[in-house]
Amino acid sequence: MRGNRRKRHDHIRERSSSLLTGLLTDGAGNRFTPSFTFKKRRRYRYYVSQLSVKNPGTKPEGPIRFPAREIESRVTERLLSFLKSDAEVFDRLGGAAEGPATTGQLVDSAKKLALQWPSLRSDDLKDLLASFVRRVIIQENKIDILLSRADLRQVLQEGDKFVPTPLDRPLKSINPDDLICLAIEAKLKRSGGEFHLVIPP
């Protein structure tokens, strides 16, 4: 019983610490779920394809398992570079009918959020991502981060009052014109039973 309680506790803690829970999929739309393992008393987090979990006897053609910290770091770096870029925020979030003052406020708010980001607790950061990130899609040669333009604008306008979106919200319910796609150039490289992301210099 003590072992079962510890296992449940580790599973709950693992889900709460995995920033991309409910957001990570492959190119075919198959989701990845958080998992972990212990090696020499060290805990390693992963994202595992639900196809391999539901069908343990089969070998999916696509990626099966990613180191969690690796993919989370790449996604976080790209989001921060977006928020810090005046040009990207202006082009992607500014409205055609808006005045420069309104767009300038969005640019300033994006920079403030980027500065605040490192100090956020893991649960708050997870809620922040869930409030405007719709999907993180692992492709063969890139990673696509899909953002809701309207929800990100709302986060920037309201500051730290972001409300997380349900993680099981279907992508098709969102207006495609509302989506912003941030791409990360990366290739998949198999190493044993898991895949790694090879990022060009």
Percent of the chain with pLDDT over 70: 70
Task: Mention every residue, 6+ apart, whose C-beta is less than 8 A from residue 95.
Answer: 102, 103
d(CA 89, CA 38): 41
Q: What is the DSSP string of 1-42?
A: -HHHHHHHHHHHHHHHH-TTTTTEEETTS-BEEEEEEEETTE
DSSP state of 166: P
> Quick one: which of 113, 109, 154, 112 has its CA closest to 131?
154
pLDDT per position as a tens digit, 8-59: 444 434 444 789 998 999 888 888 889 877 777 777 798 888 876 666 665 6
The pLDDT, as a whole number, for residue 64 is 77
Tell me the whole-structure pTM to 2 decimals. Answer: 0.79
Amino acid identity of residue 61, one-letter, is: E
The pLDDT, as a whole number, for residue 6 is 46
d(CA 39, CA 149): 41
Task: Mention every residue, 6+ apart, whose C-beta is less than 8 A from residue 109.
Answer: 156, 157, 159
Give the pair of three-digit tokens for residue 125.
């950061």
